[in-house]
Amino acid sequence: MKILLINGSPRSDGNCNDALDIIEKEVLKHEKEAIITKLSLGDKVLLGCSQCDDCKTNGGNCTKDDDTCDIINKIYMADMVIISSPVYWWNVTGQLKTLIDKFYSKEDEFNEITKIIGYLTIGSADQDDDQYHFIKKQLQYFADGFDWDIAFNRSYTADAKGDLLKNKDVIEDIIGVVKRTFTK
Ligand SMILES: Cc1cc2nc3c(=O)[nH]c(=O)nc-3n(C[C@H](O)[C@H](O)[C@H](O)COP(=O)(O)O)c2cc1C
C-alpha cells in the first residue's frame, strides 16, 4: 500500500509534522509493507491555478514551473493520502488550498480512481470552536467530489511548536484513529 503524508503547514517542523510522524510510526505497526512518503508544502514552490486549461491538453499535468504537478502525480499514485493542516484564519493554509485547487488539472483522472483520505486539522483554538466544523465539512466535500473514502477527519488543539507532543490524550487519539483504520 502506497501512503502519501502531506504536511500543509508552512512550518515544516511544527505540530502537523509531529502528528504525521505519529501516524507514520503507527501505520507501520499494522501495514508492515506500507510504502510511506512524507512531504511538506512549506518546502515547495506552489503557484496558483489560473484556469489556463493547459493541463487539459497536457495529460492532466499543470504546465506552471512549480512543484504542484509533481505532488498531484504523487497523490494520483498513492492508495491513501493523509493531509494535516493548521488552521490559518479559520481555514486550511493557503499552501494547502493552492494544492487543492490544482486538483483541477487531474479532475477527470481523479474521478476514475478510488482513494482513501485522512484529514487532520490543528488549531490553537479549543475544540468547541466552529472553525473545526467548517473546515472538516469543506475537506469532506472535496473528497466526496471524487467519491473517495474518508478514513478519518479529526481536529486537535495545539499552538506552539511541540505542543501536540505534550498532550497525551491527543497522541492516544491519533494512534486510535490509525488502529481503527487499519484493523477494520
Ligand atoms: C497566520 C496564522 C493564522 C492562524 N489562524 C488561526 C485560526 O484562525 N484559528 C486557530 O485556532 N489557530 C490559528 N493559528 C494557530 C495555528 O493553527 C497553530 O499554531 C497550529 O498548531 C500550527 O500548526 P503547525 O505547528 O503545524 O504549523 C494561526 C497561526 C498563524 C501563523
Q: What is the domain-level CATH number for residue 148?
A: 3.40.50.360
Number of domains in the chain: 1
Using the atom order of ligand 1, give the atom closest to the CA of residue 19: 26
Contact 123, 87 (CB under 8 A): yes
The confidence band for 184, taking pLDDT boundaries of 50, 70 and 90, is confident
Distance 173 CA to ligand 1 centre (A): 20
For ligand 1, atom 7, name the residue with the nearest CA. 89
Helix (H) or strand (E) holding 43: none
Q: pTM here?
A: 0.98
In our burial notation (b when 16+ CB lie closer than 10 A, e otherwise), range 95-125 reads bbbbbbebbbbbeeebeeeebbbbbbbbbee
pLDDT in tens, 43-79: 999 999 999 999 999 999 999 999 999 999 999 999 9
Domain with 84 in it: 2-182
Residue 19 CB partners (closer than 8 Å, separation 6+): 84, 120, 122, 156, 164, 174
